[in-house]
Amino acid sequence: MAHRCLRVSRTCITLGLFLMVVCLARPSAAAWIDPLTPEERQGRNVYHYGEAGSTDHVGVNLQGVEGALPPTLFRCAGCHGPRGEGTQEGGLRVPPLTPSVLRHAREGPSVGRSRLGYTDAALANAITQGLDPSGHALHPSMPRYHLTSDQVAKVIAYLNRIGEESDIDPGVSADAVTIGAALPLTGPLAQIGQDVAATLRGAVRRLNQQGGIYGRYIELIVEDSRGEPGQTALAVSRLVEIHQVFALVGSFEPAGEGRTRERLAQSHVPWIFPLTPSPQLSDPPNSSIFYALPGFDLQFRSLVDFFVSRTIPLTGTSHPRLALVHRNGPSNAEALRGALEQVRRHGLNLAVNYEYSVGRLAVLALVAQLEQQGVDAVLFMGDGEDLVSVAQELDRRGMSPIVLSAIGMVGAQARAVPSGLHSRIFLAAPIDLPTEREVASLRALSEQASLSSVGFARLAQGAVSLLAEALKQAGRSLSRQAVVHALEGCREQDTGAGFSVTFGEHHRLGRVASKVVGLMPDPPYVSPVSGWMVPEGEP
């Protein structure tokens, strides 16, 4: 006994030293200690996700069908419930698997067929042969699983702990929930990353000052993504696999980065508000990723709808000639797709389609072409600098077509267009611009004198606030699935950051509508000219 105590204390000292080192290296780092043994944790992964690790495959045999069936669709938790409580769906009544039920004999017609209590050997038979302890075949909907004896032992080890307090997802302990964010703390986007990190820390600090959620404090770990796709994937994998975070909030997701999403889908880590201008929505959706705002595709669709609703007052003709001017690149490709979809939907006349690469915009040739084609309106997909060059040349030639773009593309630089064209420029905005008071409160929250990206800071603030709400909804007995379920229940949920979101079982985009704003010469420089517009064709 004394020997054991000595070993424990030595472990504690080693652990303490390790923690000190970690704390010195990374002040925000916290170590989550798994209450399950590694074997039980691996058994839990098989039970919950149908995954036996990255290399081992779980085979499913349902009614003699071999090989073809996907183990993720026949994961134990799907039918027996996340806490082994049993379920009933579609006339299929699935028994609970908690030790108190499994290990005892079942008798009498009121509970179905009688059977003996399950021993470990009987459980192995049930999992791999589809037989109950009395040798009867289980319900035909119960697959037979092809697992190694080692894997079966792990599942059984987990079944001894299922539904207990220790049966928890990574990142959750009795008094803390660990969350993470991958942000560009170094590299060209470092200033934005630092500001977002400061905002997240401020929001988490405020939450903890209010006592946390159900007695649990929130611990935030930030990993440096350096603003590159490959490094972002690595940072996310460090957060999920080493730090074992429960969820991600306001983390960077560079455009076109699919690996990060795949990794998260495998780990079922909820991710609230990835910081991206281009939400990567799929059908069926990646169930754990919750985006905040519409991407450029939806924004440009709303913009085209707006133009169509005001064609005559804006252009003086009911058959305007349109030009598409787009810089190539992934986020512009989405804008282009959205714009073209809506141009087709409304049967608009596309007179010019001009594509250019970064730094290759031939302003004079472009504007000459617009003049020659008698263009009434330009759909512009490029940055603010390019917009200003085009506007200056339009102004010099005395041309004043309507110019339609997105505030997230052209940014504050749009203010530099010649004042004569201000009333001709309309920009889609996925979120109300922040009031001065909101900006001041964000600065106070992040303890920063100025913020390089108020938009991202707001998303970060909203992400923490929404996570807090979901944690409250999910209850003290916390799981990733419960948080995802709580997020799915959000209807016009205020994020505390100047916008609200709505999600659902099939909806992973918090907002679909955009507003259109016009330019003004004086502060606040923009003013809404439309209400919230859901693009035509969206349900």
Instruction: Show the binding pattern over residues 1-40: x = contacts another protein (CB under 8 A), - = does not.
Output: ----------------------------------------
Cβ contact 302:428 at 8 Å: yes
CA separation for the pair 363, 346 (Å, rounded): 29
The site string for another protein over 352-381 (x = CB under 8 A, - otherwise) reads ------------------------------
Spatial separation of the C-alpha atoms in residues 394 and 113, rounded to whole Å: 83
Phi and psi, residue 525, nearest 5°: 75, -25
**32, 74, 273, 380: residue in contact with another protein (rule CB under 8 A):** 74
Please, which residue, 454 or 509, has the CB nearer to another protein? 509
Binding-site residue total for another protein (CB under 8 A)?
26
Please tell me whether residue 142 adopts helix, strand or coil conformation: coil
Specify the stretch interacting with another protein by CB under 8 A; choose among 11-19, 71-79, 170-178, 417-425.
71-79
CA 355 to chain centre: 31
Asked if residue 69 binds another protein (CB under 8 A), the reply is: yes
Nearer to another protein by Cβ, of 25 and 68: the residue is: 68
Nearest approach in angstroms of CB 146 to another protein is: 15
CA-based nearest residue to 349, from 311, 387, 386, 383: 311
Site for another protein in 492-531 (CB under 8 A): 505-506
State which residue, 65 or 365, has the beta carbon closest to another protein: 65
Convert residues 125-164 into a mask of x (bound to another protein by CB under 8 A) and - (unbound): --------------xxx-x---------------------
3-state helix, strand, coil in the chain (%, to 5): 40, 15, 40
Report the 10 Å Cβ neighbour count for 381. Answer: 28
Segment lying near another protein (by CB under 8 A), choices 59-67, 225-233, 258-266, 308-316:
59-67
Q: According to CB under 8 A, which one of 31, 62, 190, 308 is a site residue for another protein?
A: 62
Minimum Å gap between C-beta 77 and another protein is: 9
- Write down the least CB distance from residue 45 to another protein, Å: 18
The Cα 400–Cα 478 span in angstroms is 58
Residues of span 246-305 touching another protein by CB under 8 A = 283-284
Only one of the segments 29-37, 67-75, 158-166, 188-196 lies at the binding site for another protein (rule: CB under 8 A); that segment is 67-75
Chain center to CA of 12:
37
The residue length of the chain stands at 539
Residue 286: partners with Cβ closer than 8 Å, 6 or more residues away: 261, 264, 265, 280, 508
CB-CB contact of 174 with 212 (8 Å): no
**Could you say whether residue 534 binds another protein (CB under 8 A)?**
no
Confirm if 383 and 296 have CB atoms less than 8 A apart: no
Beta carbon nearer to another protein, 85 or 228: 85
Cβ–Cβ < 8 Å for 492, 504: no
- 77-116 positions binding another protein, by CB under 8 A: 78-79, 87, 89-92, 94, 112
Amino acid at 298: L
Supply the minimum distance, in Å, between the C-beta of residue 167 and another protein: 19
Q: Could you tell me which residues come within 8 angstroms of residue 315 by beta carbon, excluding any fewer than 6 positions away? A: 376, 377, 402
Least Cβ distance, residue 505 to another protein (angstroms) = 6
Stretch that binds another protein, among 72-80, 301-309, 374-382, 420-428 (CB under 8 A): 72-80
Q: Residue 423's closest CA among 448, 402, 444?
A: 402
Question: Among residues 68, 174, 312, 449, which is the contact residue for another protein, using CB under 8 A?
Answer: 68
Q: How far apart are CA 42 and CA 63, in angstroms?
A: 26
Distance CA 299, CA 368 (A): 28
For residue 537, state whether it binds another protein (rule: CB under 8 A).
Answer: no
Question: 127 or 404: whose CB is closer to another protein?
Answer: 127
Cα separation, 72 vs 529, whole angstroms: 48
Q: Enumerate binding residues for another protein (CB under 8 A).
A: 62-65, 68-70, 73-74, 78-79, 87, 89-92, 94, 112, 139-141, 143, 283-284, 505-506
